[in-house]
Amino acid sequence: MTNEIILSPLVAFAIVLFAVCVLAWLCSIYAYRKKGSPVAGMSKEYACGEDFQGHDIQPDYSQFFPFAFFFTILHIVALVIATVPAETMKTFAMAITYIIGAAIGLLILMRTWK
């Protein structure tokens, strides 16, 4: 009976929440900054050792999207091929057709990638 109560979602959540709070409290004891002491530059912009002097940075995602599409296509192909049952010739033909379609898609992606 007691095992059922401990394994209920609400009780398990409360136990984990309590453990996380205790762990956070213990880690705050070893924090480098003392409580209540303001740190110079805490609200100042900072990134990778560079101080910003009011200029905006706009990242260029033109190189990111081809990689994202490449990995998305490959991961979906791997997922579909791994879950296709190997019992019939019909499913094997579907898997081969899917691989060919993905290969054509990757060729088009690589061709348009500059």
Sequence spans of domains, the chain = 1-35, 64-114
pTM: 0.42
SS3 content of the chain, % helix, strand, coil (to 5): 60, 0, 35
Is 60 exceeded by the pLDDT of residue 72?
yes
- In 3-state terms, what secondary structure has residue 52? coil
For residue 20, give the 3-state DSSP assignment.
helix
Averaged pLDDT of the chain: 78
> For the residues 54-71, what does the mean pLDDT come to?
76
Tell me how far CA of residue 111 lies from CA of 57, 71, 100, in angstroms: 30, 16, 16
Distance from C-alpha of 114 to C-alpha of 111, rounded to nearest angstrom: 8
Distance between CA atoms of residues 69 and 106, nearest Å:
9
Bigger pLDDT: 38 or 6?
Answer: 6
CB atoms within 10 A of CB 75: 10
- Confidence band, pLDDT 50/70/90 cuts, at residue 83: confident
Measured between its terminal Cα atoms, the distance across the chain in Å is 65
Asked if pLDDT for residue 1 goes beyond 70, the answer is no
pLDDT digits (tens, 9 = 90+) for 19-56: 999 999 998 887 776 666 666 666 666 666 566 666 66
Q: Are 81 and 98 in contact (CB under 8 A)?
A: yes
